[in-house]
């Protein structure tokens, strides 16, 4: 007991370097996003005003504060393009997460039923694509889905279609890309809870006369809910802000919020509006982020 207490002090000192780093490069930058979201676009370097000049004295800083406004947020709330972008982000994230759960659950369930030796192998096999470059995996799908791509060649050869089907630049392609990229994030937490589950519980339900679907629905599924929650959050949150997949695979007519932010920033060079879009995205995600944080902490405390 005393040994543990002695150990605690130097361990606390270990926090100093990462703490300072995260405050400097994670927390402080959010202050800048907040500040610039309240600024106006300007043809200047940097492209916004007012710029705080700490050497100019107190009255200049007060004047700069007075010049801050919520105009950017008014713009975002009143312009249909942005409102649609938020709604589309949420729709895409909900649909894709549902698909991921439907596809990922049977895979995780199958993994948990494997003999112990094979479970480790299966887990490595699921993790490996997660290590492989994200962009490369999307690019691999462009190869397959393009006009004269492999999918159309196969469909034509099997005479399932008479002319090449347009796959690329459709929502279908985008959903394929999202499901493909995020599948490991869904499988792993599901597998973690399913593998820990006591098989005797299912056997008991079966022995007591429950048909397999009832065993699954009344015993297995409720017990796997923590894994479902973790998997859903782990996929939902980043999909809302997704940029690369919709940009490369979806059509260009309706954008998601991550794309809108990117366009405002890089194409329109409107940094204040991009910052305001980021703030709203963060507010939209705050609830799921907090939920995720709580789940994560509970799992660490249990594990």
Partner 1 sequence: MRKISRLSRFNIASLTLGLAFLYLPILILVIYSFNASRLVTVWGGWSLRWYHEFFADRAMIEASWMSLRVAVSSATIATLTGTLAAVALSRGERFRGRTLFSGMLYAPLVMPEVITGLSLLLLFVALNAERGFWTVTIAHTTLTMCFVAVVVQSRLGSLDRSLEEAAMDLGCAPVRAFLSVTLPLIAPAIVAGWMLAFTLSLDDLVIASFTTGPGSATLPIRIYSEVRLGVKPEINAICTLVIALIAVVIVIASLASKLSSSQGESAAPL
Return d(Cα 275, Cα 265) in angstroms, integer.
9
Cβ 108 to partner 1, closest distance in Å? 9
Residues with Cβ within 8 Å of residue 38, at least 6 apart in sequence:
68, 69, 70, 72, 272
User: Residue count at the site for partner 1 (CB under 8 A)?
Assistant: 99
Least distance from partner 1 to the Cβ atom of residue 9, Å:
7
Residue 289 binds partner 1, judged by CB under 8 A: yes
| Binding-site member from 65, 139, 217, 221 for partner 1 (CB under 8 A) | 139
**Judged by CB under 8 A, which stretch of 53-61, 62-70, 76-84, 286-294 contacts partner 1?**
286-294
Retrieve residue 134's tokens: 């994200």
DSSP H stretches of helix in the chain = 2-14, 16-22, 28-37, 58-67, 71-78, 80-113, 116-131, 134-145, 150-157, 171-196, 199-207, 212-215, 221-223, 225-240, 244-249, 257-266, 271-302
Contact with partner 1 (CB under 8 A) among 81, 135, 154, 225:
135
Residues 256-285 binding partner 1 (CB under 8 A) are: 258, 261-262, 265-266, 271, 274-275, 278, 281-282, 285
Minimum distance between the CB of residue 135 and partner 1, rounded to whole angstroms?
Answer: 5
154 in contact with partner 1 (CB under 8 A): no
**Tokens for 263?**
């366009």
Nearer to partner 1, 80 or 301 (CB): 301
- Is 188 an interacting residue with respect to partner 1 (CB under 8 A)? yes
Closest by CA to 141, choosing from 99, 170, 105, is 170
Residues 43, 46, 47, 52, CA torsion sign: negative
Closest CB 233 distance from partner 1, rounded Å: 7
Q: Is 142 in the site for partner 1 (CB under 8 A)?
A: yes
Indicate whether 61 belongs to the interface with partner 1 (CB under 8 A).
no
The residue whose two tokens read 């010049």 is: 67
Q: At what angle do helices 171-196 and 80-113 cross, to 10 degrees?
A: 40
Rounded distance between C-alpha atoms, residue 162 and residue 261, angstroms? 40
Contact call for residue 44 and partner 1 (CB under 8 A):
no
Stretch that binds partner 1, among 60-68, 78-86, 219-227, 243-251 (CB under 8 A): 243-251
Can you tell me which of 85, 99, 123, 250 binds partner 1, judged by CB under 8 A?
A: 123
How far, in Å, CA of 119 to CA of 195, rounded? 9
Binding flags for partner 1, 68-107, as an x/- string (CB under 8 A): -----------------------------------x--xx
């Amino acid at each position: 007991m005393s040994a543990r207490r002695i150990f605690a002090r130097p361990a606390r000192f270990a926090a100093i370097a990462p703490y300072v780093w995260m405050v400097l490069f994670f927390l402080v930058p959010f202050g800048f996003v907040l500040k610039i979201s309240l600024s106006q676009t300007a043809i200047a370097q940097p492209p916004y005003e007012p710029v705080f000049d700490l050497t100019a004295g107190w009255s200049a800083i007060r004047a700069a504060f007075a010049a801050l406004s919520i105009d950017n947020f008014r713009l975002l709330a009143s312009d249909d393009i942005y409102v649609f972008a938020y709604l589309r982000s949420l729709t895409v994230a909900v649909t894709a997460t549902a698909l991921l759960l439907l596809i990922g659950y049977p895979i995780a369930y199958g993994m948990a039923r494997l003999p112990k030796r094979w479970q480790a192998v299966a887990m490595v096999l699921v993790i490996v694509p997660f290590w492989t470059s994200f962009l490369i995996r999307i690019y691999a799908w462009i190869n397959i889905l393009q006009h004269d791509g492999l999918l159309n060649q196969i469909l034509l050869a099997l005479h399932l279609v008479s002319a090449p089907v347009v796959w690329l630049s459709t929502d279908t392609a985008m959903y394929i890309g999202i499901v493909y990229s995020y599948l490991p994030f869904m499988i792993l937490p599901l597998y973690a809870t399913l593998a820990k589950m006591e098989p005797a519980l299912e056997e008991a339900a079966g022995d007591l006369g429950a048909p397999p679907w009832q065993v699954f629905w009344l015993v297995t599924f409720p017990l796997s809910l923590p894994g479902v929650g973790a998997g859903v959050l782990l996929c939902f949150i980043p999909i809302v802000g997704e940029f690369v997949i919709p940009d490369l695979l979806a059509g260009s007519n309706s954008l998601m919020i991550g794309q809108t932010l990117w366009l405002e920033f890089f194409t329109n060079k409107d940094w204040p509006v991009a910052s305001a879009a980021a703030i709203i995205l963060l507010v939209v995600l705050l609830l799921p982020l907090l939920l995720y944080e709580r789940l994560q902490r509970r799992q660490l405390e249990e594990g």
